[in-house]
Amino acid sequence: MSERDIYQRQGFAGAVGLGERPALILVDFVEGFVDPAHLGGGNIPDAADATVPLLSAFRERGWPVAHTRVVYADDGSDAGAFARKCPKLLTLTETAPISQILPPLTPRQDELVVRKRQASGFFETRLMGWLTWRAIDTLVVTGCTTSGCVRATVVDAVSNNLRPIVITDCVGDRAMGPHEANLFDMGQKYADLMTRDDFLAASGRLVQPRRQ
């Protein structure tokens, strides 16, 4: 019996499905998570490149877009256990070059930029309130890393009764083993998996979310 057969037999891999009002989140597409000399590498640069057309499509349709950054105080005074586990995260300060969002994905003025100190884009941020005000029911997830901040954001999204859609060619990790394992696991338990082009083809029927 294959691994997929085991999950299927136990009733996993149901579909959350597309709702009616999507928003896009770009998780931590910053310089330091692309550069293997810092905290990046692997297939993250390819994922960032693949996200550019998806971001353009959301903008053209007038659909909400949010970005996240990991940002710590210059003196590290707001650090917690997460930074103790990975001390190099403390180099991601507000003005540090490695903490800046990649130029091809630069946020527009009407897009939310979430500054966070934990893996999830939801933890102690205004993200859920921003989504609720716009009556969003579907969160389209891109970013890095698949096994870390993407996964944490997806788990919190479904915990808040959103429909997470992970765009498989628009998420990346510094190593392919964790990337592939976490895509499989999220697809079994927390989210639907779609390629960018499949999502764009399927999302044409969705209504335009309310903007503020």
0.85 exceeded by pTM: yes
Structure tokens at 110: 């009407």
pLDDT (tens digit, 9 = 90+) per residue, 139-175? 999 999 999 999 999 999 999 999 999 999 999 999 9
Residue 89, number of CB atoms within 10 A of its CB: 19
Q: What is the pLDDT of residue 210?
A: 52
Residue 145: cis peptide before it, omega within 30 degrees of 0: yes
Residue entry with tokens 């877009």? 65
Distance between CA 28 and CA 5 in Å, rounded? 34
List active site positions: 149
Structural domains of the chain, with CATH: 21-205 (3.40.50.850)
Structure tokens at 34: 């692309």
Phi and psi dihedrals of 166, rounded to 5? -90, 125
Structure tokens at 66: 């949010």
Q: What is the pLDDT of residue 208?
A: 60
Structure tokens at 169: 């060619």
User: Residue 27 — pLDDT band, cuts 50, 70, 90?
Assistant: very high
Distance between CA 142 and CA 166 in Å, rounded? 7
Question: Residue 90 pLDDT more than 90?
Answer: yes
Paired with 193 in beta bridges are 166
Residue entry with tokens 């939801």? 122
